[in-house]
Amino acid sequence: MSDYQSHDDKDTPALRLIHLLRAVTVELHLRGAEFAGRNGLHPTDLRALIRLLDADRAGETVTPGRLGEALQLNSAGTTALLDRLERLGLVRRVRDEGDRRRVLLAVEEKAVELGWSFFGPLIGALTEATEDFTPAELDVVRRYLTAALRAATSPTAAP
pLDDT tier at 15 (50, 70, 90 boundaries)? very high
Report pLDDT for 2.
46
Report pLDDT for 27.
96
Cβ neighbours of residue 130 under 8 Å, at least 6 residues apart?
Answer: 138
Please, which residues bridge with residue 104 across strands?
94
State whether residue 106 is helix, strand or coil: strand
Q: Is the pLDDT of residue 159 over 80?
A: no
Q: What is the DSSP string of 48-101?
A: HHHHHHHHHHHT----HHHHHHHHT--HHHHHHHHHHHHHTTSEEEEE-SS-TT
Over residues 67-95, the mean pLDDT reads: 96
Q: Is the pLDDT of residue 4 over 90?
A: no
CB 132 within 8 A of CB 124: no
Over residues 128-150, the mean pLDDT reads: 97
Report pLDDT for 155.
81
What is the rounded distance in angstroms from the CA atom of residue 17 to the CA atom of residue 62? 34
Report pLDDT for 157.
67
What is the rounded distance in angstroms from the CA atom of residue 132 to the CA atom of residue 126? 11
pLDDT tier at 99 (50, 70, 90 boundaries)? confident
pTM here is 0.80
Please, which residues bridge with residue 93 across strands?
105
What is the rounded distance in angstroms from the CA atom of residue 91 to the CA atom of residue 122? 23
| Mean pLDDT computed over every residue of the chain | 91
